[in-house]
Amino acid sequence: MLSMFVVQQCFGFFDEGSGDAVYDSQTIRGVICVDLGSESASDAATLLRFGHLLETHQHTRALFESINQHLASLGLLLKRGTIVDATLIAALPSVKDSRDPEMHQTKKEINGT
């Protein structure tokens, strides 16, 4: 739940958007360590209650200060941002769409080839 809250804050997700992101993004699932084959993502209401609990006990600021201190010790900086899942999947080659001259195909490299 805590990792989901941190992901929500870092990427500016609303409670409902956080749940959607878990189902839509392999990257988010990896960050929060959830396996959708054996468990489900927290629902929006649960995440909202958890966030209120952290704020009620004034743990939110201390949490992010601790995260920022740790990242700073590694030479990193945490800022709110956007995540893009650009997973490459195998697909049949297609004809280039003449309506989009900038469209091109990408080939996934395997073992440096």
What value does the mean pLDDT take over residues 72-95?
A: 71
Within-domain flag for 85:
no
Within-domain flag for 50:
yes
pLDDT at 67: 87
Within-domain flag for 25:
yes
pLDDT over threshold 60, residue 22? yes
Within-domain flag for 39:
yes
Residues 2, 47: Cα–Cα separation, whole Å: 9
One-letter identity of residue 68: N
| Secondary structure (3-state) at 39 | coil
Range of the domain at 25: 2-73
Tally of structural domains, the chain = 1
pLDDT at 95: 58
pLDDT in tens, 46-55: 888 998 999 8
Q: Cα 93–20–88 angle (5° rounding)?
A: 20
Within-domain flag for 15:
yes
Helices 60-73, 2-11: crossing angle, 10 deg rounding: 80
Within-domain flag for 78:
no
Residues 16, 110: Cα–Cα separation, whole Å: 36
Within-domain flag for 82:
no
Per DSSP, 92 falls in state -
